[in-house]
């Protein structure tokens, strides 16, 4: 990425981007719900087995008391109505992709899914189901059931996914540490979807085996004990996703946005905003940085170290002698999901 960048314009673009601003209401929703995280319930009760909840890519629930026993991973995503109306096939395909990635970025393997489909017209439903079918075949995660509203006033697709992992494999968003290196791994081989300029398609032209090799890149690093935290790059873009991780960890960071890998010929601001079909923001100890970078590359991803985790509550951008604050979570929360009580 070119080392010449207007940081003021980048901050304005990210902080006003719908992929970021749509995250703000999360804290309001969470405030209405009882705390069921670690330390909030009797340890022998069902709530006492919750290892992680809000602010993570997947909720994590222990199935037994084994320190390295199996955990259940739970996630769900809804697809924006504008995307569904514009291209029902892509909405169906992406509904599988985003849920599979949420489990993979938590260090697990997606096991099965269910959906809730609301339909205004039969034609829209046919194309939507074709997309779901192709997503299921591509990501190899079965859709086992759900609920259908065949006579709805609006159209919608929402999917929930169950995954599994061992406790030692789980990648959390709240565990970044001061001094950690921040590493990104991104599949830069693909193309922007013709109907959605902020959606980068990396999987439709790849066989399932190659999709899996990239999707489970972070999981393999976690199995080697190389990571301290991570998330998959989602709708808020690369730096917006990093912001969510830092807020949940109660930390800040200094990063150089020009170091983020990108395809040739892509506008750097556009690239930092887009939803990349397969990308991760990861944290690790500095001594593990090279091993993490090499592991991402061996999985088919472009990788780079872009900065470090710091004390405080600000995500700072620095290029050459210029610095700008992208987020200050103490002044304006991004999601409102701070560090869990322990």
* Domain contains 91: yes
Q: Tell me: the pLDDT tens digits for 282-309?
A: 999 999 999 999 999 999 999 999 999 9
Q: Tell me: the pLDDT tens digits for 100-116?
A: 999 999 999 999 999 99
Mean pLDDT value of segment 147-168: 92
Judgement on whether residues 148 and 191 belong to the same structural domain of the protein? no
* pTM summary value: 0.94
* Domain contains 47: no
Decide: helix, strand or coil at residue 210. helix
Helix, strand, coil percentages (3-state) for the chain, rounded to 5, are 35, 30, 35
Helix (H) or strand (E) holding 204: none
Contacts of 115 (CB under 8 A, 6+ apart): 95, 132, 143, 146, 147, 157, 158, 159, 160
Judgement on whether residues 157 and 201 belong to the same structural domain of the protein? no
Nearest-angstrom CA–CA distance, 101 and 172: 14
**Strand ranges (E), the chain:** 50-52, 59-62, 70-78, 109-118, 143-149, 156-166, 181-186, 191-193, 196-201, 229-232, 252-255, 275-276, 279-284, 302-310, 314-319, 322-328
Q: Tell me: the pLDDT tens digits for 5-62?
A: 899 999 999 999 999 999 999 988 888 887 665 555 555 555 568 999 999 999 999 9
pLDDT for position 46: 53
pLDDT for position 32: 87
Could you give the number of structural domains in the chain? Answer: 2
Judgement on whether residues 181 and 132 belong to the same structural domain of the protein? no
pLDDT for position 38: 58
pLDDT for position 62: 93
Judgement on whether residues 158 and 177 belong to the same structural domain of the protein? no
* Domain contains 30: no
pLDDT for position 329: 96
Q: Of the candidates 145, 168, 191, which is a domain's last residue?
A: 168
Q: Domain of 287? A: 7-25+172-328
Considering only CA atoms, which of 315, 287, 340 is closest in space to residue 14? 315
């Amino acid at each position: 990425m070119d080392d010449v960048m207007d940081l003021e314009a980048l901050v304005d673009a990210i902080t006003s981007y719908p992929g970021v601003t749509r995250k703000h209401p999360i804290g309001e929703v969470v405030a209405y719900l009882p705390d069921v995280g670690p330390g909030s319930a009797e340890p022998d009760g069902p709530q006492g087995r919750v290892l992680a909840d809000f602010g993570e890519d997947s909720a994590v629930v222990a199935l037994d008391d084994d320190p390295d026993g199996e955990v259940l991973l739970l996630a769900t995503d809804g697809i924006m109505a504008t995307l569904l109306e514009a291209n029902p096939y892509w909405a169906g395909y992406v509904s599988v992709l985003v849920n599979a990635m949420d489990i993979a970025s938590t260090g697990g393997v997606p096991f099965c899914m269910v959906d809730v489909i609301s339909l205004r017209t039969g034609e829209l439903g046919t194309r939507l189901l074709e997309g779901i079918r192709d997503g299921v075949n591509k990501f190899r995660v079965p859709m086992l059931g759900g609920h259908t509203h065949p006579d709805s006033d609006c159209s919608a697709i929402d999917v929930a996914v169950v995954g599994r992992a061992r406790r030692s494999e789980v990648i959390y968003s709240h565990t970044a540490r001061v001094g950690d290196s921040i590493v990104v791994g991104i599949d830069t081989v693909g193309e922007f979807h013709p109907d959605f300029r902020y959606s980068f398609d990396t999987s439709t032209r790849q066989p399932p085996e190659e999709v899996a090799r990239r999707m489970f890149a972070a999981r393999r690093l976690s199995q080697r004990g190389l990571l301290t935290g991570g998330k998959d790059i989602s709708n808020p873009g690369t730096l917006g996703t990093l912001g969510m991780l830092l807020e949940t960890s109660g930390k800040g960071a200094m990063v150089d946005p020009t170091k983020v890998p990108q395809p040739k010929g892509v506008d750097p601001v556009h690239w930092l905003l887009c939803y990349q079909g397969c990308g991760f923001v990861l944290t690790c100890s500095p001594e593990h940085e090279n091993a993490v970078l090499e592991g991402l590359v061996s999985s088919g991803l472009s990788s780079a170290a872009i900065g470090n985790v710091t004390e405080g509550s600000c995500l700072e951008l620095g290029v050459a002698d210029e610095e700008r604050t992208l987020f200050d979570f103490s002044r304006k929360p991004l999601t409102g999901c701070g560090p869990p009580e322990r």
